[in-house]
């Protein structure tokens, strides 16, 4: 019987991959993943068998990985960022447990889009922060609204994943309106598109103005808290040290 490693390949640039992730890809027989993510790591897996598929085929990919591992193959299932944060790790475990299969699974952590975006912006998440996906494909909007309400009331730095798509262009506006009930209009907001990938773009604006900029599914939005400030083009949330 083979094994499955669920590998976080980082935000996009191969230089941002961990050594453990790179070594896992070297050790496996087959790489399974979403086509876009496979293309990001093509130089590292030229000699591997590759099985790729499009969006919303996550369950199929996990089931295929299990099938291959049961045949004795060592399989890497790749996931962008960190496999355990909005990634494939949880689903991989769910599939194996539902089928009651005794199979070795290891999760290989990676640098998230949040990490990459924060580094590009400066140091915006130096205090407690909440990470919220605005995609209501798998979770209801009512639940997402509650998360936005409570994290805004608590003055968390808020990181938004999947902020806007063609299917839900209004969700970012709804989120902005909820957050503005509790945070000042002039609180800094960082918008990073294609973090650590080709076409990277960076904008630092305010909560009031954030929805006026181009935002899509490849964008991470970081909303500061009461202490966040902008200095020399960098967004900074002080940790609290006395200088």
Residue 219 confidence (pLDDT) above 90: yes
Indicate the helix (H) or strand (E) that contains 22. Answer: helix 19-27
- pLDDT score at 77: 98
For residue 61, what are its two tokens? Answer: 């990919």
- Summarize the confidence of residues 75-103 as an average pLDDT: 95
Domains of the chain: 3-111 (3.40.1010.10), 114-236 (3.30.950.10)
Q: How far apart, in whole angstroms, are the C-alpha atoms of residue 8 and residue 92?
A: 13
- Summarize the confidence of residues 171-180 as an average pLDDT: 97
Residue 168 confidence (pLDDT) above 90: no
- Summarize the confidence of residues 207-233 as an average pLDDT: 97
Helices (H), 84-238: 89-98, 113-121, 141-153, 171-179
Closest by CA position to 29, among listed 90, 89, 77, 80? 77
User: What confidence tens digit (pLDDT) does each residue in 45-79 have?
Assistant: 999 999 999 888 999 999 999 999 999 999 999 99
- pLDDT score at 236: 98
Q: At what angle do helices 171-179 and 141-153 cross, to 10 degrees?
A: 30
Sequential DSSP letters for 181-220:
TTS-TTSEEEEEESTTSTT-EEEEEETTTGGGS---TTEE
- Summarize the confidence of residues 205-220 as an average pLDDT: 96
Closest by CA position to 33, among listed 102, 110, 117? 110
pTM equals 0.93
User: What confidence tens digit (pLDDT) does each residue in 4-59 have?
Assistant: 999 999 999 999 999 999 999 999 999 999 999 999 999 999 999 999 998 889 99
Question: Where does the pLDDT of residue 165 fall: very low under 50, low under 70, confident under 90, or very high at 90 and above?
Answer: confident
Q: State the average pLDDT for the chain.
A: 96
Closest by CA position to 145, among listed 110, 171, 119, 115? 171
- Summarize the confidence of residues 85-104 as an average pLDDT: 94
């Amino acid at each position: 019987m083979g094994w499955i490693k669920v590998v976080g390949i980082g935000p996009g640039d191969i230089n941002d991959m961990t050594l453990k992730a790179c070594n896992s890809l070297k050790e496996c027989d087959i790489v399974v993943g979403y086509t876009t993510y496979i293309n990001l790591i093509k130089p590292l897996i030229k000699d591997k068998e590759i099985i790729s598929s499009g969006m919303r085929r996550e369950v199929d990919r996990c089931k295929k990985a299990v099938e291959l591992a049961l045949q004795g193959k060592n399989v890497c299932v790749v996931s962008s960022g960190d496999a355990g944060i909005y990634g494939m790790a949880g689903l991989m475990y769910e599939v194996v447990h539902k089928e009651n299969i005794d199979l070795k699974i290891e999760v290989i952590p990676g640098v998230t889009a949040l990490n990459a975006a924060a580094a590009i912006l400066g140091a915006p998440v130096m205090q407690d922060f909440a990470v919220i996906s605005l995609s209501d494909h798998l979770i209801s909007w009512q639940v997402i609204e509650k998360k936005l309400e409570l994290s805004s009331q608590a003055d968390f730095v808020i990181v938004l994943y999947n902020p806007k798509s063609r299917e839900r262009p209004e969700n970012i506006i709804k989120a902005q309106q909820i957050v503005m009930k509790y945070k000042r209009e002039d609180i800094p907001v960082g918008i990073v598109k294609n973090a650590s990938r080709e076409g990277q773009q960076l904008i630092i604006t305010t909560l009031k103005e954030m929805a006026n900029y181009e935002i899509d599914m490849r964008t991470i939005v970081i909303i500061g808290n009461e202490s966040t400030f902008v200095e020399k083009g960098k967004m900074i949330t002080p940790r609290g040290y006395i200088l």
